[in-house]
Amino acid sequence: MVSLDVIQQLKNSGLTGRGGAGFPTWKKWQIVHDEKKFPKYVICNVSEGEPGVHKDEYLLDHHIDEVLDGILAAGEYIQAERAYIYLRSDLFLRFKKNIESRSTRTPLVCVKEEGGYISGEESTLISVIEGSLAQPKIRPPFPTQKGLFGKPTLVNNCETFYVASKVLQKTYTHTRLYTISGNVAHEGVFERSDTETIADILKATGNMPDFDFFVQVGGGASGPILLSSELHVPVPGSGAIIVYDRKAVKPFELLNSWVDFFMQQNCDKCVPCREGLYRISEMIKKEKIDNDVLQDILFTLMSTSFCPLGRSVPVPIITFIEKILYAKNTAD
């Protein structure tokens, strides 16, 4: 039986969603708990489709008991009829049998991701579970009031449920998971303090480069670029740190990899994302950027995209062009 002070424990912990949005976990659980409509549902989002992010897969491999304990605790607290675990297709094949065999008072149902990276957005994954197209929905209403099948639904990231379990078991020590990759000596997923800076983490894991480098942090497509002099800040977003050898990077190849990713993974529902990405791709492939046109397109993406995918495109492009591409051209 989940303790009646579950919300106070989550509030005291300061836990926020680990999927990137950072919404207070206690508040989301409380909203769904207080809704009067039934049935209610829990969804654990394990779509994890962004390059350079592997923490949720790591959790299922090494800490699946804690993840499921967190899901079941949430289900019991909000009186959920069912909990869905929304899994990237390869993870669905690996973990479905194990997860569904652990159903207790709250049945656990695994759902295979459809639609790629975009379906990790919470309204999109709800559409997929309902059997609809992998496209985002207008919000509000938010899933906490009107989610799966029109009923109150709690959607949290896999790591959020893992940490919630530790909070409720009183074993949480204010850590989070970081995925480190790129030009480093020790790639992997590391659990360390959530207050450590990027520089602290790279040093502690034996991954601080001894060459001229920059990093992309938060995610391997949507994350901002930081120079080696800008690492005394915590890791944002999904906790990824990707290290690049500045001298070895081919700028337009890297830009093209991000834009290609977003073009392949967007749902084509809205014009800013669909047409804007195409125009950016044209410029990058020609290796000739019209800065005024690019800034207009990126502003439109940031301001009018239907879902977070389009709004996340400008961040890596702007920071990379300003800090690496233009700086390199100036140096040359």
Over residues 62-113, the pLDDT tens digits come to 999 999 999 999 999 999 999 999 999 999 999 999 999 987 788 999 999 9
In terms of pTM, does the model score above 0.95?
Answer: no
Residue ranges of the chain assigned to CATH 3.10.20.600? 175-245
Residue ranges of the chain assigned to CATH 1.20.1440.230? 251-331
**Assigned CATH class of 251-331:** mainly alpha
Residue ranges of the chain assigned to CATH 3.40.50.11540? 6-168
Give the mean model confidence (pLDDT) for residues 225-239.
94
User: Does 3.10.20.600 match the CATH number of domain 175-245?
Assistant: yes
Spatial distance between the Cα atoms of 301 and 276, rounded to a whole number of angstroms = 7
The two three-digit tokens of residue 107, written as one number: 């049945």
Give a three-class secondary structure readout of 195-247. Answer: CCCHHHHHHHCCCCCCCCEEEEEECCCCCCEEEHHHCCCCCCCCCEEEEEECC
User: What is the model's pLDDT at position 109?
Assistant: 96
**108: phi then psi, degrees, rounded to nearest 5:** -105, 125
Spatial distance between the Cα atoms of 189 and 76, rounded to a whole number of angstroms = 30
Report CA-CA distances (Å) from 8 to 29, 163, 167, 174, 275.
11, 15, 11, 16, 46
Domain 6-168: assigned CATH number: 3.40.50.11540
Q: Is the pLDDT of residue 173 over 70?
A: yes
Angle at 75 between CA 85 and CA 56, to 5 degrees: 35
Mean pLDDT lowest among 4-13, 143-152, 159-168, 196-205:
4-13
